[in-house]
Homo-oligomer: A and B are copies of this chain.
Amino acid sequence: MEAVTSSEQRLREAGELSGLLVRIAEESKAVFARTSDELGLPVHLARAVVNLDEPIPMRELAALLACDRSNITGIADQLQERGLAERVPGQDRRVKLLRLTPTGWQLRQNISEKVSASALVLQRLDDDQRAQLRPLLQALLGE
C-alpha cells in the first residue's frame, strides 16, 4: 500500500510544481503577447524583432525561435512590409540575413522598455529572489 500512496503523493507534488511552472510560462507568454499587441505587432513578429539584435541568417532565426525554417519566410515578408527589417545577401549566396531597419530598432527599443516594465520575473520578484530562482531553473534544465 505504501508504494501506491507514495507514488500518488509524488504525482500530486510533481503535478503541482509542474502545473505552477506551466502556468507561469503561459502567463509570461500572455504578458509578452499583451505588450506586443499594444505595439500593434503580432507575437511572432515581436519575438523575431527581439531576437534580431544583430543581422542573422533566416535559418538561424528559425533555430532561435525553435520553429521550421519555412515559417521564417512569412515572418520576413511581414517584417519587410512593415519596414521593420530587410533581407540582405550573405557571403554564402544561398544565405539571406535579416537586418532591422532604423524603424525596426526603434520598435525593438519600445518592446524592450515595455517588457522591462511588465515582465513577471521583474515585476514580482526582487533581486534576491531572482538570484535564488536562476540556479533552480538551471538545475531543472540539467545545466
Contacts and interface: CB of A to CB of B under 8 A. Distances in A.
A64 to B, nearest CB: 10
Contact of A136 (B15, B25, B129): B129
A116 B14 contact: yes
Contact of A21 (B11, B25, B124): B25
A17 B133 contact: yes
A22 B28 contact: yes
A14, A50, A137 pick with most chain B CB within 10 angstroms: A14
A18 B115 CA distance: 11
A17 B139 contact: no
A139 B121 contact: no
Interface string A1-40: 0001011101101110110111111111100100000000
Contacts of A124: 139-140, 142
A141 B18 contact: no
Given A10-B115, A10-B119, A24-B141, 17 more contacts: A4-B109, A13-B121, A13-B122, A14-B119, A17-B130, A17-B134, A18-B121, A20-B137, A20-B140, A21-B28, A22-B29, A23-B141, A125-B136, A125-B139, A132-B136, A133-B133, A133-B136
